[in-house]
Amino acid sequence: MLRIVDRYLARELLVSFTAAVLILLLVTVGATVADLLAKIARGRVAADLLLALIGLRTVDTLTLLVPLAAFLGVQIAYGRLYRESEMAVFAASGLPVTGLLRPLLLFAVPLTVAMAAISFWLAPAAVRQAQTLEEEASRSLIVAGLEPGRFVELPNNDGVMYVEAMNADGTKFKKMFVASERANAQDSTTSINVITATDGELYHDADGAQRFLGLNDGFRVEGVLGQDNYRLMRYRRNDIKLPDNSNDTTPDSVKRSAPSMTLLRSADTIQRAELQWRLAAPLSVLVLVLLALPLAKSSPREPRYARLLIALLAWFIYYNCLAIGRSWISQGRFDPRIGFWWVQIPTVLIALFLLWRSQQLPKPKPAKLHLRGAAA
């Protein structure tokens, strides 16, 4: 049976946590949308994938967002109770500071379990799905911004392209026209380049990283505007390189998308570091929630967000220590079996010390006697 005070505090924590999550999600989604729109403008991501990639990337950021939101939620909820003297009422009713741990655990333990599911399963699956969508879309001319029957500006102002017809998946086309201009800084002239083709197709190179247009049966005109030295070249086959797609095949991307069981069986230091990083996400919820409890203690006369700034500084130091440990493990300078316990355990000890100190009453100061001497 839950006490009334437990239900009240758990409700306050849940409301504050929800508010923190919404604010952090707003910031995260805004940055994600800006990044994706820039890639769409450069022809590296299909516009149709915008909403799907926003959702998948948001899931991936939950491993960082949720622990921070839990930390801020405890700060906001318990900080308000201290400022409004409700904690003083609880203490007068016989509820010590350690009595606040019960509703805190009711809030943190289910959140830790959910965070473990996200970190070990949902987030890697979201990264893999996003990479699959981008890879499939990059094999279509639609990603380059081409639409049959109208002139389309190429990314980065590289020119204008027109195709008369295109198949359903955007891999083959008929009757293409490309015109581009480029300014020459040395002599202040402008070069023009016109390419036509009867038909063609989109293909990738051997490693699948770069995209090319294979043009058949056309001609190419090159020259300088205002001059009569144009050069005409007819060809049977001509290839044009398109902007690189956004597929990320770096070791960092590979480890982020790898299933957790693969990381567990791997002996690679980079993948072992990723496994420890995924383990640190759910543990961070418990550690940060425990640390937030003593940091939330404040007096009614203190500024509203004074303790919150101190808490953010503590989170910044904690998170950077985890990032440093991740880098050390990846570089082989730290034993992967130790993981991030050298950060988690001292943080828990500091939190317990602050909890113990917050319950200690200040020692009374000795009274000073002031004697007045009478003049003889």
In the prediction, which pLDDT does 372 show? 54
Res. 256: pLDDT tops 80: no
What are the structure tokens assigned to 67, written together?
A: 């622990």
CA-wise closest residue to 211 among 290, 291, 132, 134? 134
Query: 173 or 252: whose pLDDT is higher?
Result: 173
> What sections of 223-374 are H helices per DSSP?
251-257, 260-265, 269-295, 306-330, 341-358
- pLDDT the model gives residue 333: 82
More confident residue, 164 or 70: 70
Highest mean pLDDT among 79-83, 146-150, 280-284, 327-331: 280-284
> Average pLDDT in the 315-328 region?
91
pLDDT at 68 (0 to 100): 93
Question: What pLDDT is recorded for position 139?
Answer: 62
Residue that wins the pLDDT comparison between 152 and 128 = 128
Would you place residue 242 in the very low, low, confident or very high pLDDT band (cuts 50, 70, 90)?
low
DSSP 8-class letter at 373? P
pLDDT in tens, 153-191: 765 566 788 888 887 767 788 888 888 887 777 777 888
Q: Which of 247, 179, 242 is nearest to 212 (CA)?
A: 242
341-356 per-position pLDDT tens digit: 899 999 999 988 888 8
Tell me, what's the pLDDT at 374?
46
Q: Please compute the mean of the pLDDT values over residues 196-223 and round it to a whole number.
A: 79
**Is residue 294 a contact partner of residue 358, using CB atoms and an 8 Å limit?**
yes
Whole-angstrom CA distances from 89 to 12, 83, 232 are 16, 12, 89
Q: Mean pLDDT lowest for which of 109-123, 154-168, 323-337?
A: 154-168
Assess whether pLDDT exceeds 50 at residue 14. Answer: yes
- Answer with the residue of higher pLDDT: 124 or 91: 124
Q: Is the predicted pLDDT of residue 375 greater than 50, yes or no?
A: no
193-203 confidence digits (pLDDT tens): 888 889 888 77
Residue 49 or 374, more confident: 49
Range among 19-33, 89-103, 161-175, 178-192 with highest mean pLDDT value: 19-33
Query: Cα–Cα distance between 110 and 9 in angstroms, integer?
Result: 16
C-alpha dist (Å) from residue 346 to 34, 89, 325? 38, 32, 14
- How far apart CA 224 and CA 184 sit, in angstroms, is 10
Mean pLDDT of 234-250: 68
pLDDT interval class at 223 (50, 70, 90)? confident
